[in-house]
């Protein structure tokens, strides 16, 4: 090709070299155009490039034809580099997939595929290995690297009875872990599924570009054909007008839009993943730009969810140990953090209590038969029909009754997360209102709301009450064409997550149901990442709008200049490839967003 440009050979040899160069560089593009025609996809960028360059070859504009293909491939190279860089932060999540699990057997240990391991089996994880399945540590202690899952750079310490999250990397101690979930239900499997399906849910801007390209391309082809045929009927200068039509075709190629807009959203999703936030599709990233209210669940979302019994108030001569023991026996099979705190606070022999008929009642508490007596443990709603003494201490109050007789109350404290106050402040700086929805009593709810400076607080709510409150917030926001986001972590939050315009699940501590129902998952359980994700969404939209405006503006200008013969094939190459490269480089900025 270079020799052809230099022109040191005979003209026929130079022409042959041009054709060789053309097919070496652009052969794949021509092949794609032909293949797409047979599949009914006629009007794409490959078709435009092929028609324009074949026409240039016919007109004897050999260097221009080769140059168009060459620079078009340069543009594709820039796109590939940018896309690969965007994928790096997301592929880091894909790399957490475990290759094997080491299970304990009678003869020692055995390596198997993680999908073959059953719940209850013991797996051994040595230093440097990935934790293949979710489970509870039964032996050993270590530091684990969760950065690929949560975005947190500092390793976490885990020990006996702590939860171990699949996809984490064990650093310095051998762990024995009792598996609590099969591989298909594990944290790492759900992350892989969400990442791999993220591109299927397109933002409105992406859908617009797809529709735009399908309408735009046939129109410009028709305009180019008219430019090649109609003016020569009056002027007779066919060569000049066909040349202008070919220039028109090269300029009209919508590569900058078709490539840069999806790349921008892909970059935004990648930037979020660096923060330990999984966005399930660009449509949710786009929707965040219109959020004016964020509603939070309290326990495990704004607060640590690490409850401690701070006060025991028995009545009618019942001892503190007896009250706590009965409550712990009833709560022992519950996974709720409050229940676990009561069980941990009881230091007696819980096996002396015979328990049966245990039932949880959402928004109230639970009931169980303990040593033959009907025990109810829950909030004031659970005490309906029972003569009980209300406890107004600050904290979560759990009431206990036995066969309809009130036994006393237990006060449990839960502190706000370290970044909860910053989370609310960051939202306020963006002009976004905050609200807290909690099943706790008014004293506890307003105490937390005051500490965090929340705009609104709703207390003593059942799961259906939370849905009703979010629907009210939605009705108010939609009057101004705005949206409402909800942030929660528990199974009780699932209906609210699906009701809100955008649902955030706190993935690390969150329930499987909440993670499944949410549109965005915060792996590190940090509420401040809600605001950070909104910022990423805003920057993403800004870059998308810049690229759309720039690409369309340059295209229109050069199409007019090309039609009047003011610009030629070389300028057309800039209008196509140059604009594409600039738009791609602009989209790449998202990869450096922090």
Task: Supply the residues annotated as catalytic.
Answer: 297
Residue 65 CA to residue 569 CA, distance in Å, equals 8
Residue 13: what are its φ and ψ, rounded to 5°? Answer: -70, -40
Residue 248 CA to residue 503 CA, distance in Å, equals 46
Residue 180 CA to residue 164 CA, distance in Å, equals 10
Residue 461's nearest CA partner among 337, 362, 584 is 362
* Residue 90 · residue 63 · CB < 8 Å: no
Listed in sequence order, the DSSP H helices in 59-159 are 62-94, 147-150
Residue 394 CA to residue 242 CA, distance in Å, equals 83
Pairing relation of β-strands 456-458 and 156-158?
unpaired
- SS3 at position 532: helix
DSSP letter (8 states) at residue 417: P
Question: What element of type H or E holds 310?
Answer: strand 308-314
**Dihedral sign computed on CA atoms, order 508, 511, 516, 521:** negative
* Residue 273 · residue 590 · CB < 8 Å: no
Residue 149's nearest CA partner among 274, 308, 312, 15 is 274
* Residue 329 · residue 402 · CB < 8 Å: no
Q: Give residue 60's region: left, alpha or beta (phi > 0; psi -120 to 50).
A: left
Q: Which positions ≥6 away from 465 have C-beta within 8 Å?
A: 363, 458
Residue 178 CA to residue 156 CA, distance in Å, equals 19
Residue 136's nearest CA partner among 340, 423, 307 is 340
- The residue assigned the tokens 């910022």 is 535
Helix/strand/coil percentages in the chain, nearest 5: 55, 20, 25
Radius of gyration over every alpha carbon of the chain, rounded to an integer in angstroms:
32
């Amino acid at each position: 090709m270079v020799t052809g440009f230099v022109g040191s050979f005979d003209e026929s040899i130079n022409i042959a070299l041009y054709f060789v160069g053309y097919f070496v560089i652009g052969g794949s593009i021509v092949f794609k155009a032909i293949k797409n025609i047979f599949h009914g996809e006629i009007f794409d960028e490959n078709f435009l490039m092929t028609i324009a360059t074949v026409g240039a070859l016919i007109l004897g504009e050999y260097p221009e034809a080769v140059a168009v293909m060459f620079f078009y491939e340069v543009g594709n190279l820039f796109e590939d580099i940018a896309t690969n860089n965007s994928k790096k932060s997301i592929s880091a999540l894909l790399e957490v997939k475990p290759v094997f699990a080491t299970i304990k057997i009678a003869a020692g240990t055995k390596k198997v595929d993680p999908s073959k391991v059953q719940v209850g089996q013991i797996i051994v994880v040595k230093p440097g290995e990935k934790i293949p399945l979710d489970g509870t540590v039964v032996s050993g202690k270590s530091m684990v690297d969760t950065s690929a899952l949560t975005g947190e750079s500092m390793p976490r310490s885990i020990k006996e009875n702590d939860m171990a999250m699949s996809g984490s990397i064990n650093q310095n101690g051998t762990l024995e872990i009792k598996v609590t979930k099969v591989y298909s239900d594990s944290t790492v499997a759900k992350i892989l599924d969400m990442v791999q399906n993220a591109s299927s849910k397109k933002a409105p801007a992406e859908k617009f570009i797809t529709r735009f390209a399908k309408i735009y391309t046939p129109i410009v082809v028709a305009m180019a054909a008219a430019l090649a045929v109609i003016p020569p009927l009056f002027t007779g200068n066919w060569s000049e007008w066909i040349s202008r039509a070919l220039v028109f075709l090269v300029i009209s190629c919508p590569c900058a839009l078709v490539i840069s807009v999806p790349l921008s959203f892909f970059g935004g999703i990648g930037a979020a993943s660096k923060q330990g936030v999984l966005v399930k599709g660009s449509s949710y990233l786009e929707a965040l730009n219109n959020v004016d209210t964020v509603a939070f669940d309290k326990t495990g979302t704004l607060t640590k969810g690490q409850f401690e019994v701070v006060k025991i108030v028995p009545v009618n001569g019942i001892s503190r140990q007896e009250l706590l023991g009965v409550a712990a026996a009833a709560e022992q099979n519950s996974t709720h953090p409050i229940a676990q705190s009561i069980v941990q606070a009881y230091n007696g022999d819980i096996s002396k209590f015979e328990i049966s008929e245990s039932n949880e009642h959402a928004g109230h508490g639970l009931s169980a038969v303990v040593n033959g007596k009907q025990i109810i443990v829950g909030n004031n709603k659970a005490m309906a029909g029972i003569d009980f003494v209300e406890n107004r201490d600050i904290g979560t109050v759990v009431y206990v009754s036995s066969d309809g007789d009130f036994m006393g109350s237990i006060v449990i404290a839960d502190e706000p997360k370290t970044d909860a106050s910053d989370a609310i402040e960051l939202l306020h700086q963006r002009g976004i209102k905050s609200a807290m929805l909690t099943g706790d009593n008014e004293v506890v709810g307003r105490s937390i709301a005051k500490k965090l400076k929340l705009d609104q607080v709703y207390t003593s709510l059942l799961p259906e009450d939370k849905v009703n409150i979010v629907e009210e917030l939605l009705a108010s926001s939609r009057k101004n064409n705005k949206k409402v986001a909800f942030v929660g972590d528990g199974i009780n939050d699932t209906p609210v997550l699906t009701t809100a315009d955008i649902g955030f699940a706190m993935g690390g501590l969150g329930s499987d149901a909440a993670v499944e129902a949410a549109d965005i998952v915060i792996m590190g359980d940090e509420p401040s990442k809600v605001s950070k994700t909104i910022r990423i969404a805003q920057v993403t939209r800004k870059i998308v709008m810049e690229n759309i405006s720039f690409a369309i503006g340059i295209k229109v200008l050069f199409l007019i200049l090309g039609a009047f013969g003011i610009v030629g094939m070389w300028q057309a190459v800039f209008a196509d490839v140059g604009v594409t490269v600039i738009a791609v480089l602009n989209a790449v900025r998202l990869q450096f967003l922090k």
